[in-house]
Amino acid sequence: MATKIFVNLPVKDLNKSKTFFEGLGFTFNPQFSDENAACMVISDAIFAMLLTEPYFATFTQKPISNAHESTEVLIALDAASREEVQQTVAKAKELGATIYKDAADHGWMYQHSFADLDGHQWELAYMDETQFPAS
């Protein structure tokens, strides 16, 4: 079974994307980073590979989606609290992200979303499983 996940995302400007995500508190693994790619550490087992569009194109024979025009993936991450969700989305907006959906409070789960500089959609959610409605 797999023990790690690497989500590969095409980006137009690698340096701007790195600056954006560093502003949100993410770090990059230099061992897997160069002028074509940056390995963003999400957790010990989850990574986002930010790849320049020309480099990304070497991994696929299909056209690269324009994430500003169509959705190719929704990246959902958990958060430790409702406040962390709110702070992260606010910081992302400050750094140039767009908010594509209003926050949603389901009682047991609070979520909010933003699109990064390249239009990739990120969702953050805090879940209080003790409040999950009984079936």
The pLDDT tens digits along the chain (135 residues) read: 889 999 999 999 999 999 999 999 999 999 999 999 999 999 999 999 999 999 999 999 999 999 999 988 999 999 999 999 999 999 999 999 999 999 999 999 999 999 999 999 999 999 998 887 776
Place of tokens 């992200």: 97
Instruction: Report the candidate in 63, 103, 108, 106 with the shortest Cα–Cα distance to residue 87.
Output: 103
Q: Which pLDDT score is estimated for 135?
A: 62
Q: Which pLDDT score is estimated for 131?
A: 83
Entry pTM: 0.90
SS3 state of residue 125: strand
Q: d(Cα 46, Cα 122) in Å, to the nearest integer?
A: 14
Residue type, 35: E
Length of the chain: 135
Q: d(Cα 104, Cα 112) in Å, to the nearest integer?
A: 6
Instruction: Walk me through the domains of the chain, giving residue ranges and CATH numbers.
Output: 1-62 (3.10.180.10), 71-135 (3.10.180.10)
Q: Which pLDDT score is estimated for 56?
A: 97
Q: d(Cα 131, Cα 43) in Å, to the nearest integer?
A: 26
